[in-house]
Amino acid sequence: MHNLFSTVKWLLIILVIAAWMVLCLVNLNITSPFILFPGYVFHRVPMSVILIFPLVMAFVTFWIVGILDQVDHYLQAREFRKRIRELEEEVDQLRNLPIREGTISQQAVDEENIS
C-alpha cells in the first residue's frame, strides 16, 4: 500500500510540474510587471518566470519544512532510545534484587496458622 501511495504522490508531482511547464511555454513571449516586495517593481518580467516563481518557492519551503521535520523525528527517536536504555537498566537492577520470602499478606496467614 505504501508503494501505491508513493507512486501516486510522484505521479501528481510530475503532472503538476508538467502543467506548469506547459503554462510557461504557452506564455513564453508575454511580459508583465512583477512586484516581489512593496515598492520594488520589476518591469517586463517574462510570464514564464512569474509562473515558475511560486512553484520554486513552494518547493524550497516544503524542503525546509521536511528537513526540520526529519530533525524533530531524529531528536524524538534519540530521546526514546535513551528512555529505553534507562528502563532496561532499571529492569536489570530489579532482576538482580533478592527474592523476598513471601508477601506481607502471606506472612500474616503463616503467623495465624502457627498460633
CA 15 → CA 4, 37, 115, distances in Å? 16, 30, 88
pTM: predicted TM-score of the whole model, two decimal places = 0.54
Summarised one tens digit per residue, pLDDT across range 56-87 is 888 899 999 999 999 999 999 999 999 999 99
Q: What is the mean pLDDT of residues 40-65?
A: 86
Stronger pLDDT, 31 or 113, i.e. the higher one: 31
Q: What integer pLDDT is reported at residue 88 of this predicted model?
A: 94
The C-alpha atoms of residue 48 and residue 25 are separated, in whole angstroms, by 7
CB 47 within 8 A of CB 27: yes
Q: What is the mean pLDDT of residues 46-64?
A: 86
Which grid coordinates belong to 110?
503463616
The C-alpha atoms of residue 14 and residue 20 are separated, in whole angstroms, by 10
